[in-house]
Amino acid sequence: MVDVDGTYARWLDGIGAEFVLLRPDFYVAETAHDPVRLRSHLGTVLNGLHLTTGRPVAAAAR
C-alpha cells in the first residue's frame, strides 16, 4: 500500500503507532508502537483466523 496523501502517516502519528496491520479490504486489524507489540498483535490476529495445515499438529512440528 502507498500512503499517497499522508492520511495513514498523520493518523499513526496521532495515536503514537509505527506499524499498522491492514486487512485485505484495507480495514485496520491492529496497530503497534514497536516491533514487539506488532509481533504480539500479529499472533493474536493469526490465532483468531483458526488456520489449519490439514495435518495433525504433531506432524506439522517435525
Residue-range domain boundaries for the chain: 7-61
Q: pLDDT tens across 8-40, in order?
A: 899 999 999 999 888 888 888 889 999 999 998
Cα 45 versus chain centre, distance: 7
User: For the range 11-16, what are the long-range contacts, defined as Cβ-Cβ under 8 Å and sequence gap of 24 or more?
Assistant: none
pLDDT for residue 58: 53
Global pTM reads: 0.61
| Long-range Cβ pairs for the range 15-23 (8 Å, 24+) | 21/45
Paired residues of 20 in beta bridges: 31
How far from the centroid of its chain's Cα atoms is residue 40's Cα? 9
C-alpha cell at 60: 506439522
pLDDT at 62: 47
User: Rounded to a whole number, what is the distance in angstroms from the first to the last CA of the chain?
Assistant: 36
